[in-house]
Structure 1
Amino acid sequence: MPDVSTTPMLPPAAPFFTRKRLQAIAVQLVFVAALIWVFYFLFSNTAANLARQGIASGFGFLGNRAGFDVSQSYIPFSNDSSYARAFWVAVVNTLVLSALGIVLATFLGFGLGLARVSRNWLIARLATVYIEIFRNIPLLLQLFFWYFAILRPLPGPRDSVSFGALAYLSNRGLVIPQPVLSQGGSIVASALILGFAGALFMALRARSIRQDTGHGRAVWYWWVLGLIGLPALALLLTGAELSFIVPELRGFNFVGGITLLPEMLAALLGLAFYISASIGEIVRSGIQGVPKGQYEAAAALGHSRLELMRFVVLPQAMRIIIPPLATQYLSLAKNTSLAAAIAFPEIISIVAGTTLTQTGQALETILLAMGFYVTVSLFIAAVMNFFNYRVLRNGQ
């Protein structure tokens, strides 16, 4: 028989539905009910006002003929296309502008951040001047500067600025050669994607080995093999030919090639220069946030300045850089809406502008625009959170 006197006495189980917990649940239920009522009131009131004014509601208008043209479209579109097609044109245009802006702003921003902490006095001061100028001028004013003061006054196509007889810059935009692959091009494109994935895998594996053993492995030849060697082999095996359609001046404009309109260039340059200034400061603060002992330890081991930055400082600084960097990416994606001021055909210009004016369905068009920006923002946040998780896990 166990000794009852030595058996520990467990405290009695507390009841789940205590008075305090019931009060908290009741308050939350009341709050949710009030929130539902507010949304129902707003929806029913809006629907009643639209019906009173004879304005149709719903998204059925998306199937109607749009009846307007778009200056730049990466997918086929004409004035006979539907409003739904116009919406997807706006989505693609905005995504292309956001993606190019993020890439360009990232390269410029990291270069500025490294220049800010450079030992060269002139480079550091020039980076400081760049950051202070572009960060403190409103983005809308910068868009106007690039569009009205730089790109629009350029000469016409006949007197355009030539870049080696391959690309031309005029008041009609930037015209560059268009790459064209003959039969078998899809296999070459797949080889390029496969080569990039393989080189990226080997680079990540080399970084993991470096973190575990302290000994690095060169991976540059994997990039050469993946991005050049494998696609070249696919070209030889398939017999595909890579050619370029070089733009030619015919009459008053260029024929052939890919044209980036002045509105696109102005929006891209304005967004990239504005956001890169903030990214530069974020990178600078991240680098300076690494303890000085790390610099001294790496220098004592004989690492060069480049190796110190690449293998010691930047991997640790990324833990500080990534969270505010994600905010800048979100800001860039949302600030593409300002490109409507210079007539770039993005979401606000096409959906919340032309479509709303022609159909009069403000609620639906604005909801479409809001839904797009929310989706893009959540996607960028999810990607950056994933990178932040990987950086924090690898740093443990």
Structure 2
Amino acid sequence: RGGLDGFLIAIGIALAAAIVLPIYARHRLYQTGKPLLVWPIVLGLLVGLPLIAALIAGRPFGLEMPVLRGFNFAGGSRLPPEFVALTLALSTYTAAFIAEVVRAGILSVPKGQMEAGASLGLSRGATLRLIVIPQALRVILPPLTNQYLNLTKNSSLAVAIGYPDLFSVFAGTTLSQTGQAIEVIAITMAVYLLISLVTSALMSLYSWRIARTSQA
């Protein structure tokens, strides 16, 4: 247990550093004009801190191979085929829409922006990252938010293949045990509404930051 706690604390510190360091690097660039390459430091923290914690406090978890005992396997972990099918289906379906949203957003930026970046000596990747993508995000974010909300609601289709997702637990197990149909359905609706509102709020906050950055 101690090894797992230290491992999780190390991951938390590394994630906090991954959030703070880009802010510090941006502030340093504005104040001194000296850039700071952040990704090697963040990568080193994400890999090094959990590794050091595991070496000091012991292994946070172990690997166990399943062994045939009697008529069934014992040990290890089981990956439900319903979960695999749901993950593949939702990932493929949603990725197709998101890819189209991103493609349309990039194509909405005038081609002259790419030519302007090339005239400044920027590579194609740098032009996309510094010029095209920031402008395309203003077009991408609204439909992208809709796709994330659709993904949240489409996950309830897991009940059709027998996977115990949130909707199945509330409207299936809880409803059958309590018999309080109105209350259970109201709670289910409230949970999905809360998830949708949080997703929309986070995407709106990110859109506001992008708009403020482009205006500055």
TM-score range (shorter-chain normalised) is 0.7 to 0.9
Q: Show the 5 A alignment for 1:1-396.
A: 183-207=2-26, 216-236=35-55, 238-251=56-69, 252-396=71-215
* Higher-helix-fraction structure: 2
Tell me the secondary structure at the aligned position of residue 19 of structure 2.
helix
Question: Per-residue deviation at 1:293?
Answer: 2.3
**Structure 2 residues without counterparts, runs of 5 or longer:** none
Task: Name the CA shift for 1:258/1:318 in 2 (closer, same or farther; >3 Å).
Answer: farther
Question: Structure 1 residue 381: deviation in Å?
Answer: 0.9
Structure 2 CA distance for aligned equivalents of residues 213 and 273 of structure 1: 45
Normalising by structure 1, we get a TM-score of 0.49
Q: 1:211 to 1:305 in 2, by over 3 A?
A: farther
Matched AA of 1:246: E
Structure 1 residue 348: deviation in Å?
Answer: 2.6
CA deviations on 1:171-201 (whole Å, 9 max, x unpaired) are xxxxxxxxxxx53431232122111211222
Q: What is the alpha-carbon distance in structure 1 between the residues aligned to residue 150 and residue 197 of structure 2? A: 12
Look up the equivalent residue of 1:249 and give its one-letter code. Answer: V
The separation in 2 between residues aligned to 1:213 and 1:199, in whole angstroms, is: 21
| Deviation of 1:207 (Å) | 4.9
Paired residues of 1:247 and 1:254 also in contact (CA < 8 A):
no
Give the secondary-structure state (helix, strand or coil) at the position aligned to 2:78: strand
- Contact persistence 1:340–1:348 (CA under 8 A): yes
Q: Secondary structure at the match of 2:2?
A: coil
- Letter aligned with residue 389 of structure 1: W
Residues of 2 paired with 1:304 and 1:213: CA distance? Answer: 25
Query: How many angstroms does 1:389 deviate by?
Result: 1.0
Q: Percent identity?
A: 43
Residue type of the partner of 1:186? D
Distance 1:267 1:276, change over 3 A: same
TM-score (norm 2): 0.86
Counterparts of 1:313 and 1:209, CA distance in 2: 25
C-alpha separation between the residues in 2 aligned to 1:284 and 1:212?
Answer: 36
Shift of 1:209: 6.0
Classify the secondary structure of the residue corresponding to 1:337.
Answer: helix
Once the 2 structures are TM-superposed, how far is the Cα of residue 273 of structure 1 from its aligned partner? 0.9
Unaligned runs of 5+ in 1: 1-181
Is contact 1:187-1:234 (8 Å) kept?
Answer: yes
> Offset of 1:379 from its aligned partner?
0.9
* Secondary structure at 2:164 match in 1: coil
Residue 245 of structure 1 contacts residue 256 of structure 1 at CA under 8 Å; is this kept in 2? no
CA drift at 1:213: 9.0
**CA–CA distance in 1 between the matches of 2:160 and 2:29?**
49
RMSD value over aligned CA atoms? 2.5
SS of the residue 1:258 aligns to = coil
Q: Provide, for residues 12-49 of structure 1, a one-character-per-residue CA deviation record: whole Å limited to 9, x for no partner.
A: xxxxxxxxxxxxxxxxxxxxxxxxxxxxxxxxxxxxxx
Higher strand share: 1
* Residue identity opposite 2:58 in structure 1: A
Task: Report what 1:69 is aligned to.
Answer: none
Report how many aligned residue pairs link the two structures.
214
Structure 1 residues 311 and 206, CA, compared in 2 at 3 Å: closer, same or farther?
farther
The range that moved more, 201-210 or 309-318, is 201-210
Distance (Å, rounded) in 2 between the aligned partners of 1:227 and 1:311: 26
Bigger CA drift: 370-379 or 341-350? 341-350
CA deviations over 1:261-281 (Å, ceiling 9, x no partner): 111111111111111111001
Residue 254 of structure 1: how far off its partner (Å)? 4.0
